[in-house]
Structure 1
Amino acid sequence: MFRRFVEGDWDKPWLRVEEYVENGALVVRAELPGVDPDKDVELTVADGTLHIRAEREERSEHKGKDSYRSEFRYGSFARSIPLPAGCSETDVTATYRDGVLEVRLPTTAGRPSEPVKISVARA
């Protein structure tokens, strides 16, 4: 308990993601608090996989009446998410708000398709 209080949960992966389909798009949301998306986040899509790479640097200062403590932690983290069939690797959009990165990839999965009539040949 004390170690967790002092050091935090740094031994656990911090790049948590969720995936769902909404309005014809696969939505991938990743928790990335404390990063600058312009310089700390790299997104790529290749060969049916979304790659998220991020770097985080965290600094904290604690000033007391008779004490001063400064800490910093940094690290680089990556996550690769296989995309389902029907996901487009073009027209991908990404936004960052309140520590959450949201990536939207157009998909045809989940859309109702028109019935296709299949003719039967006599043998």
Structure 2
Amino acid sequence: MTTTSVVRRDGASLMGELMSWFGTVPMQQEIKVEEYQEGERRIVRADLPGVDPDKDISVTVDDGLLRLHGERRAEEHDRYRTEIRYGSFDRVLTLPSGTQPGDVTAEYADGVLTVTMPAPAPVEPKAIPVTHREAPVE
């Protein structure tokens, strides 16, 4: 006789289990960003509502990478339910080639972090000729 049992899991534990099957860890809070070019500047905007930019956000440039790091701190009060995510978050983006740390500026206003830097110069495609080498005769 075969017995079948039903196991019920909440969405968070099921997602964690699925992620472990694929060899990844459950995702931490993700920063949503948009990137675009405006004139001679490349713009990266990140939605970060509810954080104190003086204490909770850091922007670093290292080895061609832009790292946005921060933390949304939980408020202390009785709550019945919340859909707001609290905790630390990171986002790492590749900078345009040749970007120097001094070229990058960051500003926080109305819950949005805006990071700007020079836009990369467009690179024209160039055809590379393929040479043919004869195989040695034995």
Normalising TM by the smaller chain, what interval? 0.5 to 0.7
Specify which structure has the bigger relative contact order, considering alpha-carbon pairs within 8 angstroms and separated by 6 or more residues: 1
What is aligned with 1:120? none
Which amino acid counterpart does residue 49 of structure 1 have in structure 2? L
Aligned counterpart for 2:52 among listed residues 32, 36, 42? 36
Give, in whole Å, the separation in 1 of the partners of 2:111 and 2:57: 12
Matched, 1:51 2:67: yes
Aligned sequence identity (%): 47
- Higher share of residues assigned strand: 1
User: TM-score, normalised to structure 1's length?
Assistant: 0.65
User: TM-score, normalised to structure 2's length?
Assistant: 0.59
Q: How many residues are treated as equivalent by the alignment?
A: 98
In the TM superposition, what whole-angstrom CA distance separates every residue of 1:44-88 from its partner, at most 9, and x where no partner exists?
Answer: 011111000010013275xxxxxx646786311000001122434
What is aligned with 1:115? none
* Cα separation, partners in 2 of 1:87 and 1:107, compared to 1, 3 Å: farther
Shift of 1:92: 1.5
- Higher share of residues assigned helix: 2
What is aligned with 2:133? none
* Secondary structure of 2:75's aligned partner: strand
* Secondary structure of 1:59's aligned partner: coil
Name segments (4+ residues, structure 1) moved above 4 Å.
Answer: 70-73
